[in-house]
Amino acid sequence: MQSFFIKVAQKAELLYTLAQKKAEQEVKASNEKVNEAKEAWEKMKSSHQSAEEQYREAYRSYLGGQKTLALAR
């Protein structure tokens, strides 16, 4: 009878170990997805900032041209 309980305990320990490894793999995969999302966010943020700066430069250039036209009249 005692060997039965030992086998049950060993099986439970094995199942626990397998579940723990699976959980660790899932956490690792989730962390990788989070890192990929962070990188994508940073690229998008950088692209957005660049577009904003290009817009400001174009608008300044436009306003500069308007001033030049006003002075030329």
pLDDT digits (tens, 9 = 90+) for 22-38: 999 999 999 999 999 99
pTM over 0.85: no
Q: How far is CA 21 from the centre of its chain?
A: 24
pLDDT digits (tens, 9 = 90+) for 38-61: 999 999 999 999 999 999 999 999
* Distance between first and last Cα of the chain: 107
Instruction: Return the half-sphere exposure (C-beta side, CA atoms, 13 A cut-off) of residue 14.
Output: 6
Would you place residue 72 in the very low, low, confident or very high pLDDT band (cuts 50, 70, 90)?
low
**Tokens coding 43:** 């690229």
**Tokens coding 61:** 């250039």
Average pLDDT of span 62-66: 83
Instruction: Return the half-sphere exposure (C-beta side, CA atoms, 13 A cut-off) of residue 1.
Output: 0
